[in-house]
């Protein structure tokens, strides 16, 4: 899979949010590169970490938007909720049928979603958080 590297085009104007996004892409890359490494943590733990990290980032970003009184806060949170449901569903599916879930596909789906979300929805609050 093609890895997304964090570059300036992903900058939201908020240092904490940017740090989360940056680490997120690095984490996907690192998980993917160590998939066949027998000493690496088992897939179940990686998925759990990915889910937790996603939730943690959304919480932090939502608090930031709330503090800035971002007018599209509700819509943005709704997009986060939909994705949280999606990653939770993947996690459940993995727990029920580990062989049915392909790690590479999960990582690539999650990475694509984030890249699009940052460049789309996250960028929409940029001018707002810069001035509020
Ligand atoms: Fe974000
Ligand atoms: Fe977001």
Quote the CA–CA distance of 76 and 117 in Å, as a whole number: 10
1: pLDDT strictly greater than 90: no
14-131 fold: 1.20.120
How far apart are the CA of 131 and the centre of ligand 1, in A? 18
φ, ψ of residue 37 in degrees (nearest 5): -80, 120
Query: What pLDDT is attached to residue 41?
Result: 84
pLDDT tens for 2-61 read: 999 999 999 999 999 999 999 999 999 999 998 888 888 888 899 999 999 999 999 999
- Rounded to 10°, the helix 73-96/103-117 angle is 180
Listed range (49-53, 57-61, 71-75, 76-80) with the worst mean pLDDT: 49-53
How far apart are the CA of 55 and the centre of ligand 2, in A? 11
Ion ligand 2 residues within 5 Å by Cβ: 122
């Amino acid at each position: 899979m093609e890895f997304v590297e964090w570059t300036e085009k992903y900058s939201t104007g908020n240092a904490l949010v940017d740090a989360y996004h940056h680490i997120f892409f690095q984490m996907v890359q690192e998980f993917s590169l160590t998939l066949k490494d027998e000493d690496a943590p088992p897939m179940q733990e990686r998925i759990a970490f990915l889910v937790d990290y996603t939730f943690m980032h959304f919480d932090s970003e939502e608090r930031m938007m709330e503090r800035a009184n971002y007018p599209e806060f509700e819509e943005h949170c709704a997009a986060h909720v939909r994705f949280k449901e999606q990653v939770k569903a993947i996690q459940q599916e993995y727990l029920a049928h580990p062989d049915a879930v392909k790690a590479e596909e999960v990582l690539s789906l999650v990475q694509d979603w984030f890249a699009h979300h940052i460049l789309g929805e996250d960028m929409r609050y940029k001018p707002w958080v810069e001035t509020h």
